[in-house]
Amino acid sequence: MKIFRRLVLLVLVLLLLGGLGAFLFLDTIVRSAIEKGGTAAAGVPTTLDKADASFFSGAFGLEGFAIANPAGFRNEPFLALKGARARWDNGSILSDTLVIDEFALDGLELNLEHSAAGNNWDKLLDNLKKLSGPASAPEPAESAPSGPGKNVTIRKLSIQHTRAALNISGMPDVPGVKSLNGNWSVDVPAIAIENLRTNGSTAEIAGKLTKAVVEAVLKETAKSGNGVFPGDVLKDLEGGLKQVGKDALQDMLKGKTDPADALKQAEKGVKDLLGGKKP
């Protein structure tokens, strides 16, 4: 009997230590999930400098989120975010659906690049459109996603202080015609998306939100760049966005709502981290 009690006590101690370890390393776990989800969605390295995951305080913050440029383009990131913060209903933290009142992104820089070899946004959009799911557009308030993992409802996603830059290089000059090569930039108005809903693992949700943010920023950049960016470049950007929207609609009509395999692999990496394995 004493041996049994000791075994039970040992198991309880191990469980407590395991829970404490997960709590102490929560920031690292969340940071890894966001990086893996973003990388799987964009198809290029995604990094995060810092995550402050104080779940039970009803607040979350991150600093230094960046999506790298595709291979063959400049070393600067395709997209860089200074910081973000979120607040949620603490009553939903242990339920199947986490309700986030506000997810605010601040200080976003977008670097578009076009050359004779192509542009960097098409390569990102090609990867993003492989990710199915409802996070790229808000759903009706009475509708909720179903499936494994956590359901997340973001009542308001806001993107503030966005600046988009365009670099064109390597284009041939035509006599008598103004050169297309050069640099342009525009300030993008604040973006607000309401009732954004998605579900899945932490990495899957991070990937879907990455897709939603990138697409929203590119769409607003195309609008803001009208009359500033060269017309041919704007047509290319708008064409890529229309194709993504068309593919997403076809996926919904065909009932394809499962996350991409790449995001499932990303979540496996996060589970490996929780289990002490290298991702």
Rounded (10°) angle between helices 202-224 and 26-42: 50
Regions of the chain with pLDDT less than 50 = 4-25, 133-147, 249-262, 265-267, 269-279
Q: What is the widest separation between alpha-carbon atoms in the chain?
A: 96
How far is C-alpha 265 from the chain's CA centre? 16
Judge whether 60 and 85 are in contact, CB under 8 Å: yes
Q: Please tell me whether residue 100 adopts helix, strand or coil conformation.
A: strand
Report which DSSP code applies to 146. -
Distance CA 99, CA 15 (A): 28
The per-residue pLDDT for range 208-265, each reduced to its tens digit, is: 888 889 999 999 999 999 989 988 888 888 888 877 665 554 444 444 444 444 455 4
Element containing residue 248 per DSSP (H, E): helix 231-253
Residue 28 half-sphere exposure toward CB, CA atoms < 13 A: 13
The tokens describing 193, both together, are 């998306």
Identify the pLDDT of residue 129. Answer: 78
Judge whether 93 and 148 are in contact, CB under 8 Å: no
Judge whether 247 and 24 are in contact, CB under 8 Å: no
Identify the pLDDT of residue 24. Answer: 40
97-115 and 150-169: which strand pairing? parallel
Judge whether 42 and 128 are in contact, CB under 8 Å: yes
- Each domain of the chain, given as residue ranges in start order, spans 17-274
Element containing residue 217 per DSSP (H, E): helix 202-224
Identify the pLDDT of residue 93. Answer: 61
Tokens 């933290």 correspond to 93
State the pTM of this model.
0.73
Averaged pLDDT of the chain: 74
Q: Find the angle CA(91)-CA(93)-CA(97) to the nearest 5 degrees.
A: 95
Identify the pLDDT of residue 164. Answer: 96
Identify the pLDDT of residue 94. Answer: 63
Q: Find the angle CA(76)-CA(206)-CA(279) to the nearest 5 degrees.
A: 80
The identity of residue 93, as a single letter, is I
Identify the pLDDT of residue 131. Answer: 67
Conformational region of residue 149, where left means phi above 0, alpha means psi within -120 to 50, and beta covers everything else: left
Distance CA 150, CA 153 (A): 10
Number of other CB atoms surrounding residue 251 within 10 Å: 17
Identify the pLDDT of residue 230. Answer: 87
79-88 and 59-67: which strand pairing? antiparallel
Identify the pLDDT of residue 60. Answer: 82
Closest CA to 153 of 84, 101, 93, 91: 101
